[in-house]
C-alpha cells in the first residue's frame, strides 16, 4: 500500500512537469515556424502551449504572460488586431501585478501593445505606451 501511494504521488508530480515540457516543445516549434513566416501553422501550437501553461501554472503566472505575448504577436503578424489586443492587455496586467509597473519585462510587453495600436492608427495611445516603456528602460537599464 505504501508503495502504491508513493507511486501515485510521484506520478502526480511528474504529470505537470511533463505537461510543461510539452509546452516548451510546442513553443520551440511555434517559434521556428514564426521565424519562417508560417504564422497559421504556429498559432495552434502557441494556443496549445498557452492552454497547458494556464492549466498547470494558473492564469496569472509569468510564463502564461509570455505565452500570451507570443500568441498575440502571431495574431498581430496576421493583421488580427482584435484577437491580439486582449492577449497583449492580459500579458501586461500579469507582468505588472507580478513584477511591478516599472519592470523591463513590462516595458517589452508595452512595446508590443504600442505596435498593435500604431498598426490600428491609434497613435496617441501608442505614443503614450512607448514613452512609458522608454522611461522604464531609462530608469532601470540606463539611457546609454
Boundaries of every domain in the chain: 2-140
Which one, of 85, 65, 62, lies nearest residue 75 by Cα? 85
- Whose CA is closest to 136, among 110, 107, 113, 114? 107
Q: Is pLDDT at 13 greater than 60 in this prediction?
A: no
Please give the angle made by the CA atoms of 27, 28 and 30, to the nearest 5 degrees.
60
Taking the C-alpha atoms of residue 27 and residue 43, their distance in angstroms, rounded to an integer, is 10
Domain 2-140 is found in CATH 1.25.40.10 = yes
| Lookup: cell for 75 | 495574431
Confidence of residue 78 (pLDDT cuts 50, 70, 90): very high
Predicted confidence (pLDDT) at residue 102 exceeds the cutoff of 50: yes
Amino acid at each position: 500500500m505504501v508503495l502504491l501511494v508513493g507511486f501515485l504521488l510521484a506520478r502526480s508530480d511528474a504529470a505537470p512537469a511533463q505537461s510543461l515540457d510539452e509546452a516548451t516543445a510546442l513553443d520551440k516549434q511555434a517559434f521556428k515556424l514564426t521565424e519562417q513566416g508560417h504564422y497559421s501553422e504556429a498559432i495552434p501550437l502557441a494556443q496549445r502551449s498557452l492552454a497547458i501553461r494556464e492549466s498547470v501554472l494558473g492564469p496569472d503566472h509569468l510564463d502564461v504572460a509570455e505565452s500570451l505575448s507570443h500568441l498575440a504577436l502571431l495574431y498581430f503578424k496576421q493583421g488580427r488586431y482584435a484577437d491580439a489586443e486582449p492577449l497583449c492587455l492580459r500579458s501586461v496586467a500579469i507582468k505588472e501585478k507580478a513584477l511591478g509597473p516599472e519592470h523591463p519585462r513590462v516595458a517589452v510587453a508595452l512595446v508590443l501593445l504600442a505596435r498593435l495600436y500604431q498598426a490600428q492608427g491609434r497613435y496617441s495611445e501608442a505614443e503614450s505606451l512607448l514613452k512609458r516603456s522608454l522611461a522604464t528602460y531609462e530608469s532601470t537599464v540606463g539611457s546609454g
